[in-house]
Amino acid sequence: MKNNIILIGFMGSGKTSVGGKLSRALHYDFLDTDGMLEEEFGCTIREFFAEWGEEEFRKRETMLLSGLSKKLTKTVLSTGGGLPLCPQNAKLLREMGRVIYLKASEEETVKRLSGDTTRPILAGEDLRVKVHRLLEERMPLYKAAAHYTLETDGKSFYEIINEIECIALI
C-alpha cells in the first residue's frame, strides 16, 4: 500500500482541519479535493452546483481522483463528503493509502453544520432531517470504504492526530 493518508467522512467531520494539521505533524504534503476542484472551476462548489449540477460535479471529482491516484506520495488527502460513495472512487482511495473515516455523531454533525451556506447538498430541507437521512445512507459506505473508523466526538485535534499517527504506523 502507498504511504498516503486519506481522510473521508461526512460534511463537517473535520477532514480539512485535521488533514492540514496532520500533514504538518508528519511533514507530509496536504491536498484537499474540494479546494483543488474550486481552483480548477474558478468558482465555489456552491456556484458550480448551481451552474452545472451535482452529476457534473461528481464526474469532475472522479476525474480529479483518477489523476491523483497514480502520483501521490507522502500526502494527506482530505476528500469531499460525497467522493467515497462511488464504488470506483472508494476502490481507488483504498489503493492510494490508508483510508480513515472521521466519524462524528449525528448530534455533533448538526451542531457543526448549522448556519452553513456553503454546502449545496444541505440546502432546502430541515438540517436535522437531512443529516439524519444522509448519514443513514452514507455511513455504511464510509465504513466499507475505510480501513479504519475513528470516532471524533469529544476529542481534541491533538488526540485525533495522535490516533491517526498510531494507525499510520501499523
Binding-site ranges for ligand S3P (CB under 6 A):
11, 15, 34, 45, 80-82, 119-121
Closest distance of CB 140 from ligand S3P, Å: 15
The C-alpha atoms of residue 141 and residue 157 are separated, in whole angstroms, by 25
Closest distance of CB 51 from ligand S3P, Å: 14
Contact 44, 38 (CB under 8 A): yes
Q: Which is nearer to ligand S3P, 3 or 41 (CB)?
A: 41
Q: Which is nearer to ligand S3P, 69 or 89 (CB)?
A: 89
Contact 163, 150 (CB under 8 A): yes
Length of the chain: 170
Q: Which is nearer to ligand S3P, 140 or 169 (CB)?
A: 140
- DSSP helix/strand/coil, 118: coil
In single-letter form, the type of residue at position 39 comes to E
Closest distance of CB 40 from ligand S3P, Å: 13
If you ran DSSP here, which 8-state letter would residue 10 be given?
S
Q: Which is nearer to ligand S3P, 129 or 170 (CB)?
A: 129
Closest distance of CB 43 from ligand S3P, Å: 13
The C-alpha atoms of residue 93 and residue 87 are separated, in whole angstroms, by 10
